[in-house]
């Protein structure tokens, strides 16, 4: 970046102006060019803490301004990979030609079309097909089924016909990719450079969980998160205990909208009772929390839990809950946590009771609920995924890209569950 100001006769004024510009640029690198708390209703993730004035003074005194500025950006390898990819895209001139051109004629199931391999690749990167699919030009049944899932997720008639609307969802130009990567890098600049060595990260946009232990990634698994009208917020709070055979006290909002007026037979079928003016679902395999809950400390009643609705983990877009996070094989994950925290015996005994039982963890495990629409594959290539909540647009506008709302995942879950 080239720093410049209008030359004045007053050297002190010029130095002050240059210092102001340098601090502003350093702040963008260190904490982002935008304020996440102004862009999102909830944002409690730990932010970077940097004394920019002291750092700039030392860098100037040591003659290491460039090195200091380089040190302010996230040191994460993914950030470096995204930065490299962004520069490469910008150098291409950010072409606006679609990767999969709309030729004015829809692609019908069973048709032969030269665009099919590109469509298969895009379906692979977005999770609707296994990556590295066949390169034939025939619009085969397995690809049709994947396209129908895309259409259903985004509220288009799921007829499997690839017309202009379906192509608009599948397509990403170089300009689109550059914009998404810039937003992803900005979101990384919002985060503390040194996250807790042992933690649970949930990427809400991709609906994936990562478990880090002593600085090493030891487990990843699918999750189900909040649907677009009941979004899972970006927050940081710890898991402090495991709950075996949990009960579920239905929140007032769900109780009023989805339970009241259904009668005693509905409550009996779902193992629910009235208790002190609240609807409470008793423990059991059909409980909406499943067989384990991971209690977290926050003001938004957000936590991780099991679920009897296992089929949702097979969906590509897993934004289907009322805001809490449902964990794939939650019992296996709970056992992993209990073993690592040396409370496995206590956990097994709690489970065996068949009643709601609590096992406190000797130390709290931080959980970060993040929102990243760009992943990095094993080869270091950026994979642009869906923006299910439409949150990227506000960030992009703050970065000067202008408004370009994407296709949001369709909401409308009918489940009575958190």
- Known catalytic residues? 305, 324
CA-based end-to-end distance of the chain: 47
Q: Which two tokens stand for residue 49?
A: 């803490």
d(CA 361, CA 367): 14
Q: Which two tokens stand for residue 229?
A: 């009208």
Query: With the C-alpha atoms ordered 225, 229, 234, 238, is the resulting torsion angle positive or negative?
Result: negative
Query: With the C-alpha atoms ordered 28, 32, 37, 39, is the resulting torsion angle positive or negative?
Result: positive
Closest C-alpha among 402, 409, 407 to residue 179: 402
Contact present, 66 and 140 (Cβ < 8 Å): no
**β-strand 325-327 against 216-226: which pairing, if any?**
antiparallel
DSSP per-residue string spanning 356-395: -EEEEEEEEEEEEEE--SEEE-TTS-EEE---TT--HHHH
Adjacent-strand bridge partners of 274:
279
The DSSP 8-state label assigned to residue 314 in this structure reads G
Adjacent-strand bridge partners of 368:
201, 236
**Cα 407 → chain centroid:** 16
How many degrees, rounded to 5, is the angle at CA 96 between CA 90 and CA 97? Answer: 125
d(CA 372, CA 385): 9
């Amino acid at each position: 970046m080239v720093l410049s100001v209008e030359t004045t006769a007053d050297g002190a004024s010029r130095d002050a102006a240059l210092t102001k510009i340098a601090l502003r640029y350093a702040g963008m690198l260190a904490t982002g060019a935008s304020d996440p708390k102004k862009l999102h209703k909830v944002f409690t993730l730990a932010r970077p803490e940097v004394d920019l004035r002291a750092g700039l003074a030392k860098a100037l005194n040591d003659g290491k301004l460039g090195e200091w500025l380089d040190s302010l950006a996230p040191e994460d390898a993914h950030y470096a990979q995204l930065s490299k990819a962004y520069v490469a895209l910008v150098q291409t001139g950010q072409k606006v030609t679609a990767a999969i051109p709309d030729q004015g004629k829809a692609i019908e199931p069973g048709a032969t079309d030269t665009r099919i391999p590109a469509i298969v690749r895009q379906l692979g990167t977005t999770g609707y097909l296994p990556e590295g699919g066949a390169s034939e030009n025939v619009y085969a049944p397995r690809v049709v089924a994947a396209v129908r899932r895309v259409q259903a997720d985004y509220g288009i008639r799921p007829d499997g016909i690839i017309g202009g609307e379906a192509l608009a969802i599948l397509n990403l130009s170089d300009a689109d990719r550059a914009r998404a990567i810039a937003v992803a890098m900005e979101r990384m600049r919002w985060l503390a450079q040194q996250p807790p060595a042992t933690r649970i990260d949930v990427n809400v946009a991709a609906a994936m969980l990562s478990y880090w232990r002593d600085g090493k990634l030891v487990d990843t698994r699918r999750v189900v998160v909040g649907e677009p009208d009941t979004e899972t917020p970006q927050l940081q709070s710890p898991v402090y205990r495991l709950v075996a055979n949990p009960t579920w006290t239905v929140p007032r909002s769900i109780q009023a909208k989805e339970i009241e007026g259904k009668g005693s037979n509905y409550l009996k079928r779902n193992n629910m009772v009235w208790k002190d003016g609240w609807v409470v679902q008793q423990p059991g395999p059909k409980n909406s929390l499943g067989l384990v809950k991971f209690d977290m400390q926050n003001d938004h009643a957000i936590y991780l839990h099991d679920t009897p609705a296992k089929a949702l983990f097979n969906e590509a877009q897993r934004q289907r809950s009322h805001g809490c996070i449902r964990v794939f094989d939650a019992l296996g994950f709970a056992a992993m946590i209990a073993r690592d925290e040396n409370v496995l015996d206590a956990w097994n005994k709690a489970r065996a009771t068949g009643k709601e039982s609590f096992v406190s963890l000797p130390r709290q495990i931080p959980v970060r609920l993040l929102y990243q629409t760009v992943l990095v594959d094993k080869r270091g290539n950026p994979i642009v995924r869906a923006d299910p909540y439409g949150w990227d647009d506000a960030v992009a506008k703050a970065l000067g890209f202008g408004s370009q709302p994407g296709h949001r995942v369709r909401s409308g879950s009918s489940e009575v569950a958190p």
